Structure formats: C-alpha cells, structure tokens
Amino acid sequence: MIGLVVNPVAGVGGPAGLAGSDGAAVQARAAEHGSVPRAHERAGQALAVLARSHPGVRILTAAGAMGAAAVADAGLEPVVVFTPSSVATTPDDTAAAVAAVAAAGASLVLVAGGDGTLRDAVRGLGSGSGEGDLVRGAPVPFGAPYASVDGRDAPQNAGVRPESTYGVDEADLAQVADVRGEHAVLGAMDPVRGAPVPFGAPYASVDGRDAPQNAGVRPESTESAARPEPAARPERAEPAVLGIPAGVKMYSPVFAVTPVAAGALAADWLGSGTVPTAVREVLDVDEAALRRARVEPVLYGSLRVPQRLGRTQARKAPTPVTEQDAVAAAARSAVRAMRPGVRYLLGPGGTTARIAAELGLAKTPLGVDVVLDGRLVAAGADERRLLAEVAAGPAQAVVTVIGGQGFLLGRGNQQLSPRVIRALGADPLLVVAPEQKLVDLGGRPLLVDTGDPDVDASLAGHIRVITGAAASAFYAVAAPEALVP
C-alpha cells in the first residue's frame, strides 16, 4: 500500500522570504506577509496523478490536514492510522505519523514537505541518529563525506570515509538495484510503543506485521536462554520514502522533481512493483543559522528512495573553491549586462552574492534583493514587495543554477513566485552560472518548479546563461512535468 504524510505548514515561509517554515513564530510572520502553506495543494497534485492510474485506491495516512483531507479531495480512500493531538501539528506529529503509516503496512510513504519534514520522517522510521552526522553527530559541510564503508551509515564504521561524497554517487543510478529491506535500521522505533528497539530485536508483533492492534505484545528477548527459540518470521522491510517537494529548503536527494513526478512514481510503484530504489541521504540546514548566512548542512540519516531518471531529484552540489574565479568572471559579465532603469531582483545563491559584491553591495543571505542603477532599493523582499517593485518599472529576476540539481526556480527562492514571474513579462530571467555547473549536469536540462504548470511551461525552451567574461551559452530549460512519460 501507499502511505501519505503531509506537513500542513510546509512551504509557508518561502514567499515571505523566511528561509524556512519551522516554528510558530516564523509561521505567524509568514501569515503577516500574506504567505499560505502549499503542502496540501502539492500533495493533491501528486495524488491526482496516482488517482488517474489507480482510481479508488486506499491510502494509509494521518487525519485531517496531515493527509486524509488531501486523499479525500483526490477522490481516493483515506485509511487513517494516526491522529495528532492538536490542530497545530509539530515535528513529533510528523515523525509519529510516518511511523504509524509504516507500521500499518505501507511499502512506499509519500511525505509532503521540505528537508525538515523528511528529517522528521527519518526520525519516525529510526533511520538515523536525529542528531546530525550518523556517526559523530556533527554538521557535515557540502562535499564532505561522512563515515561509511559500504553505503550503510552505521556507528561501527566511525572514522572510515568513503570515496564518494555523502556515501552514494549519482553514477550509481545507472545500475541501481532494488535494495528493498537490505539496509540497516539505526535506532529503530517500536511502532507500537514508540520506544527504541535495540539492534537485532524484533518489533512487537504476533503475525509478522507491526501494527497498532498488537500493542502490549513484547518482543522476544535475545538474552534469555530459558525461553524456546521463537518461530522464524519473515523480516519486515523498511518502507521506501519519497518526498513531495512542498517546502522551502530541499537540498536532499530524496524528493521527486515535482509533485506530478511523485505521483507518477507512486503509480508505477503500485502498478509494477519493480521500481528500483537507492539509499539516499537526508540533509537539513538550521534555519536560524541560514538567516545569519551560515549554511551548515547536517546529515540526519538515510532513506530508501524510488529512482526514475528525470523524476527523482539529485543532490545539491557545492561550487568548488577552484571555481571561484569562474564565478567572479560570470558575475562581472552579468553586471556589464545590466541596463539603466531596470530593477534587478537578485535571487539567493553564491553567484548572485558575487554579483552584489561587484556592485559594492551586501547581499541579503538567501533573500531576494532589488537593485536599480547600482543602488539597493529593497533588501530581503517578500513576494508582495517584489510585485510592487515590478509594477514600478521594467524588471528582471537574476537567478543562478543549483549545482547538481539544475533548478532555476522552486528551490529556496519561492519569493520569485508564479505571480512575480508573470509580472516580469516576456523575458523574466537573467541566468548567471559558471560553465562547469552546466557541464556537471551531463546534458540534463535546467528545471523550473514554480508550482504553476502554465508558468513553468512558458519558461521551457532554451535560455541564455551568462557563464563568464564575454561568454554565454544557450541551454535547455524544462518543466519537469514534461519529463514524466
């Protein structure tokens, strides 16, 4: 069966320029800026695709806004296995809901949210320490490998660093195998009592299924020689998990490229049962640190993720130090391309920060700043301020390419919303990126995921990318829905 868990407040901080949605105070500020959550809508887009292929299918889920409402709206049958104690849900509710859906028998769990929500899913499944690096509990900088000897991130491997960054190479996708049930569960949680289960101990169960109705049945002790050996039971496989992109931060390679792609993968999962999977890392960045311009991704664990070329998001790759000269050259070229009287909306990213530096300006970390004739007009603008600035005269958004993923819009720059892109007119984007970022995509197109299919389709085609001093390239841009067969 398919499971669904929705973080009801995911993505609310994006249009408000708040670098995330965690915490009641941030959510209140987002509401003041006119932002609304988008997780319900994005989950619905995925379920609509699933419903077309499998009408009436039953979905294991949580009550109300945590999933059942989206399932019902899609014309599917919700099977509620978790109910939060309050309308205002918490990360603990997300973790508990994922655990309950898995315990009820879901083989694939769709989770609508961002990196923080998937981090809660890891905690619910017991697939990581919940404290950072699986081995050391410390922040992991982009590009730094973590302790592993075989792609299984277990404490006994402490101090052993693999050749690849973050444990799994993208090249593995070419020959990925279905590893269902093959990777270790670290610090797994008993789905009945919510208590830690030691390595090697079976879950509470009377029939091989770890379901809530088995509450009170204690697992057999492995320490008592007086008790007879229990009958062999089939090993329960941990479910696969796929993120429906609905948050602000989505650095982890555990998301589909769009909700439509997530729905297509779920439909394939039910239809054929042979969708390959791979173990992928879950990263998150402290939002308070982000707002202070400190980007320190922390590795929280791993999940088994369905893989389909063009449907599953790649990991975010950093710009190597060796490329900084190329970034500077591209930034200088972008500044020379700026026209008098035009407002430029500088999106997040290291390349756009370098553009601001070339103008003698300090860039708002992860925000969108408005520049006119070399002057800073607005810093850290939200969607409403951007719409006002665009209405005041000619304007263009300046964006860069997310390394490894290829996204231009929809990942960390949700202030550049569909309404803003429409208001910018026929030539809305000035794209700036060092050439190596394009080379590293290996021929994959640049992606746009604004949440509005019509806007995404209007941006598809080819776009000029400023890559260096007096250098540019025309590169393909695709709306990810077009990549889903």
- pLDDT digit string (tens) for 95-146? 999 999 999 999 999 999 989 899 999 999 986 543 333 322 334 333 333 3
For tokens 């080379």, the residue is 439
Least confidently predicted of 172-186, 305-319, 347-361: 172-186
Mean pLDDT of 170-186: 30
Q: What is d(CA 391, CA 259) in angstroms, rounded to the nearest whole number?
A: 31
**Which residues, at least 6 apart from 444, have a Cβ–Cβ distance to it below 8 Å?**
310, 406
The candidate with the shortest Cα–Cα distance to 157, out of 347, 302, 271, is 302
Helix axes 350-358, 324-337, angle to 10 degrees: 60
To the nearest 5 percent, what fractions of the chain are helix, strand and coil?
30, 20, 50
Residue 198 buriedness (CB in 10 A; 0-12 / 13-18 / 19+): exposed
- The pLDDT tens digits for 208-247 are 333 333 333 333 333 333 434 434 434 457 899 999 999 8
CA distance 340 to 356: 16
Neighbours of 243 (CB within 10 A): 29
Q: Which of 74, 64, 80, 95 is nearest to 3 (CA)?
A: 80
The first and second tokens of residue 414, run together, are: 């949700």
The pTM for the full model equals: 0.71
For the segment 14-33, the average pLDDT, to the nearest whole number, is: 52
DSSP state of 313: P
Asked if 451 and 418 count as a contact pair (C-beta separation under 8 A), the reply is: yes
User: Mean pLDDT across the chain, nearest whole number?
Assistant: 76
Give the model's confidence band at 12: pLDDT under 50 very low, under 70 low, under 90 confident, else very high.
low
**Per-residue pLDDT at 6 exceeds 80:** yes
DSSP 349-363: SHHHHHHHHHTT-PP
- For residues 23-32, b (16+ Cβ closer than 10 Å) or e, as one string? eeebbebbee
pLDDT at 414 over 80: yes
Give the mean pLDDT of 29-43. Answer: 70
The total of other beta-carbon atoms located within 10 Å of residue 299's CB is: 29
For the cut 60, the answer to whether the pLDDT of residue 328 exceeds it is yes
pLDDT class of 288 with cuts at 50, 70, 90: low
> Distance (Å, rounded) from C-alpha 120 to C-alpha 111?
10
Listed range (162-166, 230-234, 273-277, 389-393) with the worst mean pLDDT: 162-166
User: Out of 1.20.1740, 3.30.70, 1.10.3470, 3.40.50, which CATH number does the structure's domain 321-483 have?
Assistant: 3.40.50
Given a cut of 80, is residue 484 above it in pLDDT? Answer: no
H or E segment at 466? strand 461-468
Query: What integer is the mean pLDDT of 349-374?
Result: 92
Q: For residue 359, which amino acid is it?
A: L
- Tokens linked to 227: 């008790």
Beta carbons of 49 and 2 less than 8 angstroms apart? no
Judged against a pLDDT cut of 90, whether residue 334 lies above it is answered with yes
Q: What is the mean pLDDT of residues 72-100?
A: 94
User: Which of the four pLDDT bands, split at 50, 70 and 90, describes residue 431?
Assistant: very high
Q: So what's the pLDDT on residue 470? A: 85
The answer to whether the beta carbons of residues 101 and 82 sit under 8 Å apart is yes
Helix or strand holding residue 224 (H, E): none
Identity at 89, one-letter amino acid code: T
Q: Output 25 or 107, whichever has higher pLDDT.
A: 107
Task: Output the CA angle 131-135-138, nearest 5 degrees.
Answer: 50
* C-alpha pair distances (Å), 340 with each of 106, 332, 336, 337, 433: 57, 16, 11, 10, 22
Residue spans of the domains in the chain: they are 2-185+238-306, 321-483
* Torsion from C-alpha of 137, 162, 439, 300, nearest 10 degrees: -20
Instruction: Annotate 408-440 with three-state secondary structure.
Output: EECCCCCCCCHHHHHHHCCCCEEEECCHHHHHH
Phi first, then psi, for residue 464 (nearest 5°) are: -80, 130
Higher pLDDT, 412 or 337: 337
Q: Are 249 and 20 in contact (CB under 8 A)?
A: yes
Mean pLDDT to the nearest integer, 8-30: 57
Q: At 306, give phi and psi (nearest 5°).
A: -60, 145
Count CB-CB contacts under 10 A for residue 314.
21
Which residue would you say has higher pLDDT here, 158 or 238? 238
Whether 20 has a pLDDT exceeding 90, the answer reads no
- The predicted structure's pLDDT at residue 479: 85
Highest-pLDDT range among 162-166, 375-379, 414-418: 375-379
Distance CA 424, CA 396 (A): 6
Amino acid at 174: A
User: Does 145 or 443 have the greater pLDDT score?
Assistant: 443
Provide the 3-class DSSP secondary structure of residue 141: coil
